[in-house]
C-alpha cells in the first residue's frame, strides 16, 4: 500500500513539473553555439568548451538607433543567439525597437517566446489579442505606455506597438527564448512566397479577389534586423 501511494505521489509530481516547466534544467554551465557544425539539432551544437571565449557572450551596438526611414517608421534590432552564440540553450534574448514619430511595429507573433517591454523614450500605444475564446472571440488588451512603463506580451499572441508621439521613441524588450522568431501578420498572409491562393484569402477576409491581388502586389517590408 505504501509503495502504491509513493508511486501515485511521484506520478503527480512528474505531471505537475511537466506542466510548469518549459525548458529542461541546464546540464552544464553553458553551450555556446557552434555555427560551423554541420550537425542539425534543435538549436545549435555546443562549441568545445576549451575553445569558448568571452566574446562568445558579448556583442555591441545596443546603444545605436536603428534606421526608421521606412514605410513603417520603425526598426527592430534583435540580439539573439545569431549575434551572441553564448545565448544558446539559455532561453533569453533582447531587442531594441526604434520608432520615428507615429512609427509602427506592426501586428506580429513570437511563436517561441514571451516578451516584456519597457519604454525608454517617448509614448507608445501597445496591445495584444488573445486566442479564440468561446463566446467572446478574440479579446484586445491595450495600454498607453510612457517612459519607464513596462508591458508583457504573452507567447504566441498577436501584438503591436505604435508611437503616438511627435518625437522619436525607443523601447527595449527581453524575450524568453534564445531565438523567439517573428511572424509579421500582414507579411505572412499577403507576402508569402509562393502566395496563398486568392480564393482562400478572399473568403477568409470576405473581400473580392481583386482586393487580394492588390494587397499581394504591395511591398511588405520586414523591419526586423
Annotated binding site for oxalate: 105, 110, 115
Sign of the alpha-carbon torsion through 31, 57, 75, 120: positive
Query: What is the distance between the alpha carbons of residues 223 and 225, in angstroms, rounded to a whole number?
Result: 7
Strands 93-99 and 158-163 turn out to be: unpaired
Q: State the binding site.
A: 105, 108, 110, 115, 159
Q: State the binding site for Mn(2+).
A: 108, 110, 115, 159
Report CA Rg, the chain: 21
Contact call for residues 116 and 150 (beta carbons, < 8 A): yes
Other CB atoms within a 10 A radius of the CB of residue 105 amount to: 28
Query: What is the distance between the alpha carbons of residues 199 and 84, in angstroms, rounded to a whole number?
Result: 43
Residues 6+ apart with CB under 8 A from 79: 59, 62, 93, 94, 95, 96
105, 190, 185, 44 alpha-carbon torsion, rounded to 10°: -100
Amino acid at each position: 500500500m505504501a509503495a502504491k501511494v509513493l508511486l501515485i505521489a511521484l506520478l503527480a509530481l512528474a505531471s505537475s513539473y511537466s506542466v510548469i516547466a518549459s525548458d529542461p534544467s541546464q546540464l552544464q554551465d553553458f553551450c555556446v553555439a557552434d555555427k560551423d557544425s554541420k550537425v542539425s539539432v534543435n538549436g545549435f551544437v555546443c562549441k568545445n568548451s576549451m575553445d569558448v571565449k568571452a566574446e562568445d557572450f558579448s556583442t555591441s551596438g545596443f546603444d545605436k538607433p536603428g534606421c526608421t526611414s521606412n514605410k513603417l517608421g520603425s526598426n527592430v534590432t534583435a540580439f539573439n543567439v545569431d549575434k551572441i552564440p553564448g545565448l544558446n540553450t539559455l532561453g533569453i534574448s533582447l531587442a531594441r525597437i526604434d520608432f520615428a514619430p507615429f512609427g509602427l511595429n506592426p501586428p506580429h507573433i513570437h511563436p517561441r517566446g514571451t516578451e516584456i517591454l519597457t519604454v525608454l523614450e517617448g509614448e507608445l500605444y501597445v496591445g495584444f489579442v488573445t486566442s479564440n475564446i468561446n463566446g467572446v472571440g478574440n479579446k484586445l488588451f491595450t495600454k498607453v505606455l510612457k517612459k519607464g512603463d513596462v508591458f508583457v506580451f504573452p507567447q504566441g499572441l498577436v501584438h503591436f506597438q505604435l508611437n503616438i508621439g511627435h518625437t522619436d521613441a525607443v523601447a527595449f524588450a527581453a524575450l524568453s527564448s534564445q531565438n523567439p522568431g517573428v511572424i509579421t501578420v500582414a507579411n505572412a498572409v499577403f507576402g508569402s512566397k509562393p502566395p496563398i491562393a486568392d480564393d482562400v484569402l478572399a473568403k477568409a477576409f470576405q473581400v473580392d479577389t481583386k482586393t487580394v491581388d492588390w494587397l499581394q502586389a504591395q511591398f511588405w517590408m520586414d523591419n526586423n534586423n
